[in-house]
Structures are given as C-alpha cells and as structure tokens.
C-alpha cells in the first residue's frame, strides 16, 4: 500500500504516522459542535510511527497542532497543510487509534483547492522539468498551480539570502501572461526555473523581494509583449462574473513595487 500522506506533530517535529489517503483538505467536511463549526479530516489506512509511539508513552505528551504532509512516490514531503485539533489527544491515556478510518476534528486554516489536489497527484510522480507547463491550464487551475508552488517552496526553500542571485536579468514572455495568475506563474519560473515560486500576490511578491527566494534586488526584468497583459481585462473569479479587474491598475501596482525595490523593468515588443 502506497503512503501518500504523513502526519507530523508540529511541536516535536516527529512523524505521527502515514496513511494512504486524506479527505477533508478542501474544507467541505464540517461538523457543528456547540454552535461552532469545525473541519473533519479523515485518515485512511493510518499507521503509527513506532518512534512517535515510544515518545508519547515515555514523555506523556499530547498532540494538538498537526502538519498534514503530502508525499511524493519516494516518500519525501512536497507540501503541507496545517491542522489544529479542537481538543488535544493524549495517547498515553486513551491509547492509539485503531481501524482503517480515523477522523480528526479541528480547524483547517488554509484549505486545499480541488485544482491543487489534482496537481499534487501529478507532482507526486514527477516535478515539472520544463517551464510553461501551466500555460494550457484554466484560470482556476492556475490559481491551484500557485497554491502548489507556494507550499512546495515552503518545504524546500532555505530562505537563505546569501544564496540569492543579484544583478541578473529575467525574461517574461507576455504571450502567456494575460492575468494575475499567469503573471506569477511566469515570474516564478523566470527566476527559479520550472515550477518556480516568486510570490502569488503583491504582498508575497514584496516578501520575496526582501531576499531568500532565489533573487535579490537589484536585478532586471525584461517583459516582452506587455500589451497583451495591459489590454486583457480578465475575470479573477469564474464563479462571480462581476469581479472584473483592470489589468492596467494591477500593472501600475506591480511596477511601483518593482521600482521601489530597485528593479529595472525593460519592455520590448
């Protein structure tokens, strides 16, 4: 049986165990307790880690805050979602879970999109080896792509500013940049290669510009065919056709952020 997920105790950093599948990551499984809504996370075929069991029994420790880890085919973690139990669990008092199905109740602060879960299944098998594999995705799928690369970066990035490249030139092909999502997909790969991350919104882009994400100002961005972005008023939320955003307004915000951080932007046809 392939273990596609693991559960980590956030306090000790120890692996609680592994399982074949987790449901509830999208936040759709809910239960109402004392007029308060909680998420339900279901672990399938969960197996405890013996080291963790020994740790709990000897230290009489409980679990409360968990990391729900996505594993690749080699058993290496590639992403994580945090889950906070509604009540701590004391294994040394009540024993360890038994049975094929285990349900946990708590709070999932950041849910997974269905689009991201599909991409995680793909990335389990192989990490993107070429850039622009996202260009044929729908807008919602690109949002899922950004979710995946953000969390993947959180696992693998060293956040070491000394490893950042300075003074480089990065190229954006505007043929594929028609909305905010495709801008961040393209920027991340221009700086950090296939599946690369360099922000998913203005706030996270600003964080990346502080260093630790592969490139540190000053550097240059050469943006080709920027007019395709400027002249495309896209709809950010496909389920709400009223949320129509002007790319020109967003472009101004991007440009101001770049200029204020000593980044040269060159436009070419």
Q: What is the CATH number of the domain that holds 171?
A: 3.30.370.10
Tens of pLDDT, residue by residue over 115-171, are 999 999 999 999 999 999 999 999 999 999 999 999 999 887 766 777 899 999 999
Region 175-199: mean pLDDT is 96
* Residue 245 confidence (pLDDT): 60
Q: Whole-angstrom Cα distance, residue 106 to residue 29?
A: 11
* Residue 172 confidence (pLDDT): 97
Q: 252 and 138 share a domain? A: yes
Q: 108 and 120 share a domain? A: no
User: In the predicted model, what is the mean pLDDT of the chain?
Assistant: 92
Whether residue 242 is predicted with pLDDT greater than 70 in this model: the reply is: no
User: Is the whole model's pTM more than 0.85, yes or no?
Assistant: yes
Q: 45 and 167 share a domain? A: no
Return the percent helix, strand and coil in the chain, to nearest 5.
35, 30, 35
Residue range of the domain that includes 64 = 5-112
Which of 112, 136, 158 marks a domain boundary?
A: 112
* Residue 240 confidence (pLDDT): 40
Q: Whole-angstrom Cα distance, residue 61 to residue 58?
A: 8
Give the whole-number percent of the chain exceeding pLDDT 90: 85
* Residue 163 confidence (pLDDT): 84
Whether residue 73 is predicted with pLDDT greater than 80 in this model: the reply is: yes
- Bond before 218 cis per omega within 30 degrees: yes
Q: Judge whether 217 and 259 are in contact, CB under 8 Å.
A: no
* Residue 53 confidence (pLDDT): 95
Q: 121 and 204 share a domain? A: yes
Tokens 């669990």 locate to 89
Give the whole-number percent of the chain exceeding pLDDT 70: 94
Q: Judge whether 188 and 149 are in contact, CB under 8 Å.
A: yes
Q: 76 and 107 share a domain? A: yes
Q: 83 and 119 share a domain? A: no
Q: 48 and 145 share a domain? A: no
Helix H or strand E encompassing 132 = none
Q: 72 and 152 share a domain? A: no
Q: 119 and 246 share a domain? A: yes
Q: 193 and 108 share a domain? A: no
Which of 112, 133, 155 marks a domain boundary?
A: 112
Q: 127 and 104 share a domain? A: no
> How many independent structural domains does the chain possess?
2
Which of 112, 129, 161 marks a domain boundary?
A: 112
Q: Whole-angstrom Cα distance, residue 186 to residue 126?
A: 20
Q: 10 and 54 share a domain? A: yes
């Amino acid at each position: 049986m392939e273990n596609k997920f693991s559960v980590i105790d956030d306090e000790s950093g120890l692996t609680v165990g592994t399982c074949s599948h987790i449901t509830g990551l999208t936040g759709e499984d809910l239960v109402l307790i004392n007029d308060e809504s909680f998420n339900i996370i279901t672990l399938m075929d969960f197996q405890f880690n013996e080291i963790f069991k020994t740790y709990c029994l000897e230290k009489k420790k409980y679990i409360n805050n968990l990391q729900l880890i996505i594993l690749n085919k080699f058993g290496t973690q590639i992403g994580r979602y945090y889950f906070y139990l509604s009540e701590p669990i004391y294994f040394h008092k009540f024993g360890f879970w038994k049975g094929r199905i285990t349900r946990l109740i708590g709070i999932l602060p950041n849910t997974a999109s269905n689009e991201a879960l599909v991409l995680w299944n793909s990335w389990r098998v192989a990490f993107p080896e070429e850039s622009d594999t996202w260009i044929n995705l729908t807008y919602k799928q690109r949002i899922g792509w950004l979710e995946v690369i953000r969390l993947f970066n959180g696992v693998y990035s060293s956040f070491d500013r000394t490893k950042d490249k300075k003074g480089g030139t990065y190229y954006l092909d505007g043929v594929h940049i028609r909305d905010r999502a495709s801008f961040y997909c393209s920027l991340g790969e221009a700086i950090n290669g296939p599946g690369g991350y360099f922000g998913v919104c203005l706030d996270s882009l600003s964080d990346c510009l502080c260093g630790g994400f592969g490139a540190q100002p000053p550097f240059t961005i050469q943006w080709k065919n920027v007019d395709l972005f400027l002249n495309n008023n896209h709809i950010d939320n496909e389920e709400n056709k009223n949320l129509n955003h002007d790319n020109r307004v967003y472009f101004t915000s991007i440009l101001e952020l770049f200029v204020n951080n000593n980044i040269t932007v060159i436009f070419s046809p």
